[in-house]
Amino acid sequence: MRFTRSAASLIAAVSLMLPVAACGAGDDAAGGASDSASTTPLNPYEQQRVDGVTALLDQLSSTLRTRDEKGLDALLDGAASSRFRDRLQTIQRNLSAPTKKLTLRDFAYRVAPQKGAERMVDDDLAARLDDEGATDTWVTPVELDYALGGARSPGLDEPTVTLHQTMTFARYGDDWKVVGDGSLSPDPSQAARDHPKVDELGPWAFPGLAALDVRTLGGSSTVLSYPGAEAAASRVRKALPSAVRAVTEFWGEDWPRRTAVIATSTAEQFSTLTGTDSSETTVAAAATVFSRIDREKDEVVGQRIVLAPAARTLEAPALAVVLRHELTHVASRLATAENAPLWLSEGVPEYVGRKGTYRSLVEAAPELAAAVAGGDVPKALPADGSFSVDSEGARVAYQAAWSFAAYLGETVGDEKLRDMYAKVGAGGDTDAMNKAFADAIGRDRAAMIAGWQKWLRKQAR
């Protein structure tokens, strides 16, 4: 999974109404990978490097999908650390497990364009490699292109996802070996010190990965899990078809209607696969993430629902709410601009997720109901900042966003609510979004907020 740690591409873990959930984003790009290849021809020395490492990466790509442990060891340099060896051995075990293994449609490393000054390994490692007979070392970006399958082939039908990593290689005559990752040569630039990059890892990076297939409306979906999350994965497999149907009833058929769900069992797994801080697992049940948006093909690449360890304790009804919420993000991702307001992009998914699961405002939104009963009626829709995980009012903000969607669903119907999401979610400045709101609902924003306030007072009695 690719996560770009730049403006508007952070994963925001947030506290919701019970059960809690989190939703996130990826790189809203127009087309392929963000780095374009240089048009400057390589000199013979550079070309030899590229050709030699490309041949090595081809071998690595194929060997990791087999049970040939000796073959993998032969590709690694004697100076490779035990940590790095363990990482590759874990990938190999996951992709070649005899049962419940993940079948990938694509899995191939390649040399990526290198920008800026060449990075060098530290002096101690350079001396050790020299002593072993190495004639060259190269620290370079690599890209891993993959596409998920499932427990069986072809499994999930998804476009190719690209993960960005850095690797260190050593040359011995005509042969190259893998020495390690980019940590062997920290990037000395100020930009890298200010915004350190870490390798983007796939779900196979953690031991014990298992895959289950499930048929949903759009075809085969896949549910991945780790040891300790097997029961949650089983509940997801049972709940996913009906959750996809429920979201389709609201959103329509204009989305893939299939997905990948990953059930994690540790904070490290969740934070790595979602790009969040590990502490955010305490306030999140799930996050929806993606690699990029291909506007030319009008598709979202690498979209996944990642369940936090806390989701393992959710009973089936609560887990179904989380799945419907997150699937609404999956369905609406193409219609959700970067600057879409959070009262919309979180409130509507929560409405879809919780629909039919509550009897009153007090039951569905207790903090909001208590505030309204005490005379503290929201004067406006919650601002984006109030949804922050650090905000004391985050729970009330989510409950307010849900309640506004619930009010519209009750008074104007789901069809107009969805139309409003698509039009307001397309973004623009405040005036443009207000016009979109009025076009979809037939009343201006001020009138709808007044009606919502009246509805809240009535519901809180």
Which pLDDT does position 152 carry in this prediction? 84
Domains of the chain: 44-204 (3.10.450.50), 336-461 (no CATH)
Report d(CA 370, CA 258) in Å as an integer: 39
φ and ψ of 381, to 5 deg: -65, 145
Rounded CA separation 434/344 (Å): 12
Query: Rounded to 10 degrees, what is the CA torsion of 72, 33, 182, 202?
Result: -50
The residues, any chain, with a CB within 8 Å of residue 305's CB and separated by 6 or more, are 259, 260, 261, 262, 286, 287, 288, 323, 326, 327, 330
Phi, psi of 69, rounded to the nearest 5 degrees: -65, -40
Q: What is the pLDDT of residue 373?
A: 94
Q: For residue 115, which of 19, 215, 37, 202 has the smallest C-alpha distance?
A: 37
pLDDT score for 276: 82
> Is residue 344 a contact partner of residue 387, using CB atoms and an 8 Å limit?
no
The position carrying tokens 């609404």 is 328
Contact 108, 162 (CB under 8 A): no
How many Cβ atoms sit within 10 Å of the Cβ of residue 94?
Answer: 24
Query: On the CB side of 148, how many CA atoms lie within 13 Å of its CA?
Result: 26
pLDDT tens for each residue of the chain, 461 residues long: 433 222 222 223 333 333 334 565 565 544 444 444 445 788 888 999 999 999 999 999 999 999 999 999 999 999 999 999 999 999 999 999 888 899 999 999 999 998 878 899 999 999 999 999 999 999 999 999 999 999 987 789 899 999 999 999 999 999 999 999 999 987 777 666 666 678 999 999 999 999 999 999 999 999 999 999 999 999 999 999 999 999 999 999 999 999 999 999 999 999 999 988 766 666 779 999 999 999 999 999 999 999 999 999 999 999 999 999 999 999 999 999 999 999 999 999 999 999 999 999 999 999 999 999 999 999 999 999 998 866 678 889 999 999 999 999 999 999 999 999 999 999 999 999 999 999 999 999 999 999 999 999 999 98
Beta bridge partners of 222: 213, 260
Question: Which phi-psi region, left, alpha or beta, contains residue 219 (left: φ > 0; alpha: ψ -120 to 50)?
Answer: left
